[in-house]
Amino acid sequence: MASPAAGLVVIVGSGLIGRSWAMLFASGGFKVKLYDIEQQQITNALENIRNTENDKSPMNE
């Protein structure tokens, strides 16, 4: 994978596969832009990504 200094990743389509790629690149430090013809699909993807990130927080033992 290229260095995050390479900059921006653009993903067309924010369904399951698009949002999965978005999470992968974002976790690697890349700036990610998601595009989709359906605005609601982007809204759902962003909500899913945020929820997934919150679920990754360390659990208290």
Between residues 58 and 42, the one the model is more confident about? 42
Give the global pTM: 0.73
Residue 58 forms part of a structural domain: no
36 contacts 14 by C-beta, under 8 angstroms: yes
Residue 5 forms part of a structural domain: no
Residue 40 forms part of a structural domain: yes
Residue 23 forms part of a structural domain: yes
Structurally, the chain folds into a number of domains equal to 1
Nearest CA-CA partner of 19 in 45, 44, 38:
45
pLDDT digits (tens, 9 = 90+) for 24-55: 998 888 999 999 999 999 999 999 988 887 77
pLDDT digits (tens, 9 = 90+) for 5-17: 668 999 999 999 9
Residue 59 forms part of a structural domain: no
Q: What is the pLDDT of residue 60?
A: 41
Domain region containing 45: 10-52
Q: What is the pLDDT of residue 55?
A: 72
Q: What is the pLDDT of residue 4?
A: 59
Residue 38 forms part of a structural domain: yes
